[in-house]
Amino acid sequence: LLLRQLFDVAGGGPETDAFKHLAAAFTVLRSLGSAKTSSNSESSRIGHFIEVQVTDGALYRTKIHCYFLDQTRVIRPLADEKNYHIFYQMLAGLTPEERVKLNLEGYSPSNLSYLQHGDTRQDEADDAARFQAWKACLGVLGIPFLDVVRVLAAVLLLVNVQFGDSG
């Protein structure tokens, strides 16, 4: 709300590229850095601040600085909590072709070690819609979609690797 007011006062608004980029960045960060906790289904687990630069009464630049991410949540959320939203959204929203490219065909939250603990309930339709919005926002920001989801898929799959005895 405060940022929208700053954009309006500085001669910008929702139709400007700067506003669209900032809104897209928030959507991307929300999925990457939010998770369900026992007290809040949309709890931000990421610390960030927004730098707004104004020159001669006009909005010059905005930057989002991220300085903290609750990394332990990736490994194991608490019993009544969930991992980061992006993992569930990705599994619900990837196309069959994308799943093949990412080696995620046949996987669901119930058979991926990082997602099978804690609250396993999922609203797949909502998650899929949010994933499509997230994907579109990556495009607005010029971030290659497959580069990002490859890393996310690797995080999910890495813990499922099992090593056998060589003897």
Question: How many whole angstroms separate alpha carbon 132 and alpha carbon 115?
Answer: 20
Which residues have a Cβ under 8 Å from the Cβ of 62 and sit 6 or more positions away?
3, 18, 22, 50, 51, 52, 53
The type of residue at 61 is R
Is beta strand 58-69 parallel, antiparallel or unpaired with respect to 43-44?
A: unpaired
SS3 content of the chain, % helix, strand, coil (to 5): 45, 15, 35
Predicted confidence (pLDDT) at residue 3 exceeds the cutoff of 70: no
Closest CA to 108 of 91, 95, 93, 96: 91
Output the pLDDT for position 152: 97
Output the pLDDT for position 144: 98
Q: Which residue has the higher pLDDT, 160 or 33?
A: 33
- Structure token pair of residue 83: 């991992």
SS3 71: coil
Output the pLDDT for position 65: 87
pLDDT mean across residues, the chain: 86
The type of residue at 120 is T
Write the pLDDT tens digit of every residue in 78-137.
888 888 999 999 999 999 999 999 999 999 998 898 888 766 677 889 999 999 999 999
Interaxial angle between packed helices 145-158 and 85-93, expressed in degrees from 0 to 180 and rounded to the nearest 10: 110
User: Superfamily assignment of 2-158 in CATH?
Assistant: Kinesin motor domain (3.40.850.10)
Using a pLDDT cut of 70, give the percent of the chain over it: 87
Output the pLDDT for position 104: 97
> pTM for this one?
0.85
Q: Which residue has the higher pLDDT, 47 or 7?
A: 47
